[in-house]
Amino acid sequence: MKPEDEERRPIFSFLWPVPPKSAELPVTYQTKFVRIGTRGALRSLILIAFALGIALSAGGVILVGFTAGFSGWTFLSSALLATACLVLARASVAGTYVNDEGIAIRNLWSSRFFPWTQALVAPEDGLIVVRQLGRTYGTHIHRWSLDWPTGGERYDMAVQAIRSWATAHHAWVLESPSDT
């Protein structure tokens, strides 16, 4: 075979393999959790203020520790600040998340995951709830949330998003005709 007859390939072609001509498009499957409803301005301001308070307090504890010597109060303050950092980290991820496997509700102290095959999502007095085996769990999607205190548009968008996920997995239940 002559070199002119060979197909020319880029030097790093192994990094970008060419799919075969007969390949079909793969079926997409969402495995990463997607937050339903964005974090609102009021909740973001509270989290930022809490983070700044922790940072300023930590600086003060370190300064006192190095100037006046480390004492029991310094270690107690350090332990309280470490706990506050953990609470801040947990509070920043609180919310309602979905993927193709199910719905997850993350609160400050607990996380619950409900597979779509075992959960029913329903509106109930301005709150979206998840029902499983006769128990009802509230989500973070409700009219009185810190995420959308000024208007109902963001709430409506969150309800539409959770409704589309739940409908796609046959888990949406209407309570009354007025909920549509």
Q: 10 Å Cβ neighbour count for 142?
A: 20
- Judged by phi (left if over 0) then psi (alpha if -120 to 50, else beta), residue 85 lies in alpha
- Contact between 61 and 71 (Cβ < 8 Å): no
Which phi-psi region, left, alpha or beta, contains residue 131 (left: φ > 0; alpha: ψ -120 to 50)? Answer: beta
User: Where does a domain end: 68, 92, 116?
Assistant: 92
Q: What is the pLDDT of residue 104?
A: 93
pLDDT for the residue 31: 83
Residue 16 lies in a domain: no
Query: How far apart are the C-alpha atoms of 160 and 98, rounded to whole Å?
Result: 13
Position 68 in a domain: yes
157 and 132 housed in the same domain: yes
Stated pTM of the model: 0.71
Distance CA 29, CA 18 (A): 22
Instruction: Give me the domain span that covers residue 164.
Output: 95-174
Residue 67 lies in a domain: yes
Domain boundary among 47, 75, 92: 92
Output the pLDDT for position 139: 87
In whole angstroms, what is the distance from residue 100 CA to residue 34 CA? 10
Instruction: Give start and end residues of each alpha helix (H) in the chain.
Output: 41-68, 72-92, 153-168
Other C-beta atoms closer than 10 Å to the C-beta of 14 total: 8
DSSP lists the bridge partners of residue 127 as: 124, 142
- Whether residue 10 is contained in a domain is answered as no
The pLDDT, as a whole number, for residue 24 is 64
What is the domain count for the chain?
2
Give average pLDDT by consecutive 10-residue segment, the chain, 180 residues.
63 69 66 84 86 90 82 85 90 89 91 89 83 85 73 80 87 59
pLDDT score of 140 = 84
Task: Provide the pLDDT for residue 172.
Answer: 80
Residue 137 belongs to domain with CATH number: 2.30.29.30
